[in-house]
Chains A and B, each alone.
Chain A
Amino acid sequence: MKTAHLSDDRLVELYFTDTPSAQEQQHLGQCHDCDSRRAAILHLLDETAQASAEDVESAFPADRLARQQLLIMERAEAAAGPARVIAFPATQAPEPGVIDRARSTTRWVAAAAVAGLLVGVVAGRAGRDFRPLSWSGRGVSGPAIQTVQVRQDAQNIRAISDPLSDDEFLVELEAAVESGNQRGALRALDELTPHAWDR
């Protein structure tokens, strides 16, 4: 019985994973071409494996592998163990007396700073609340004093933002009448007064 030739891929497959079937085995026993191709593939793969092993052997001799194993175990131990506390060198540590003195000085400075701050706050508050008696009558300020500078030239009248109270207005009016320059003063007041024809 004649079976078909085995492909190269099938020969590679036989090398790596599969076992040949009875038919394939029989064919390989009879077919010189297939057997020689298989031998060539086998030779190539064995040669590759050997070269690779030699390559790795030369790069990683036994002592290097042993060193590597040691390092792995050390790293595993470091990873598994508790965290280490690294102590500061003893020479850099200051004397105990120096530490006490430095601490007490720091405390005094801090206490003084806090006391100063408190005194400042209390004094500031007391100063703001304190009002001498002579000021008490002026404590309540009246309405803003509105002044109208009445000048002879009516063009220069300065209008003030808030209107005058009635009393103030009358006082000013009287003062202007008494001053003698009635016409000019009244003209100025007239300027301030709205006119019917302005509307």
Chain B
Amino acid sequence: MPRTPFRRTPSPASSNPPARTAPGSTAPGRTAPLTPDSGLAAGIKALVVAGERDKARDLFGELVAHQQRRAVRIAYHYLRDAHDADEAVQDAFLKVFTHIATYREDYPFEVWFTRILVNGCLDMRKAQAKRLRWTVPVPMLPGMPPLEAVASGPSPEQRLVSAERAVQISEAVAQLPERQRAVFTLCHLAEQSTHEVSQALGLSEATVRVHLFRAVRKLRKLLERDR
């Protein structure tokens, strides 16, 4: 009987190409950067400190290209809105560039960046909640097209035809409590280790694992019920 593999297979989106290390990214005597993107970030920092902004910007473009898809995935799962996710990702990258001088090379860049992004998403969600408090719900009138679901894709037809199950799953993920959803999104959908997630969210690794187990348990329950 063929056995199922133990570990998840990394998605092609997450496998970043090896980043080239910028000159000055690792000082002599210092240990090698933790990840390729950490090396890139250290290089950008060195260039910014040296006043070579143009070169730093070029290198920053590479960093954006490596991290963008993962950032979009995290932001979209947090905010459930493409426009807001777009804005959150842009803001997070801009913060990285403007505050790169404060980046610590002994810290994985992914963790630092995820923290910035998640904080931005949380701020945006607070702002959304404030906006919604002042929004008067519009009553449905006969002949009015139904409103799009929160977790919908761009085209309802496409969704109905190709991804009914995907909608169910994404609704189930959206039903998870805030913490569980954050941990599940970062561990599973953004493919970060529990250690990295614990650093990004400021939780202990044991707590992250507990949230992860609970999230999976709840998802199983929700999705088995929907079948």
Contact = CB atoms under 8 A, between A and B. Distances in A.
Contact of A49 (B3, B76, B188, B216): B188
Interface in A9-56: 9, 12-17, 19-20, 28-29, 35, 38-42, 44-56
A183 B170 CA distance: 123
Interface residues of A, number: 47
Contacts of A47: 165, 169
Contacts of B159: 58
Contacts of A55: 76, 151, 153, 163, 166, 170
A51 B61 contact: no
Interface string B14-38: 0000000000000000000000000
Interface residues of B, number: 55
A69 to B, nearest CB: 6
A80 to B, nearest CB: 5
Given A44-B220, A59-B154, A16 B64 contact: no
Interface string B76-99: 110000100110011001100110
Contact of A56 (B73, B155, B193, B219): B73
A65 B3 contact: no
Contacts of A64: 86
Contacts of A53: 11, 13, 73, 189
Given A71-B90, A76-B97, A52 B169 contact: yes
B213 interface: yes
Nearest to B70: A56
B34 to A, nearest CB: 18
Contacts of A129: none
A53 to B, nearest CB: 6
B11 A73 contact: no
A173 B43 CA distance: 113
Nearest to A73: B61
20 contacts: A8-B213, A8-B216, A12-B212, A12-B213, A13-B209, A15-B6, A16-B212, A20-B6, A35-B4, A45-B8, A48-B189, A49-B8, A51-B166, A52-B77, A58-B155, A65-B68, A68-B68, A68-B86, A68-B90, A72-B89
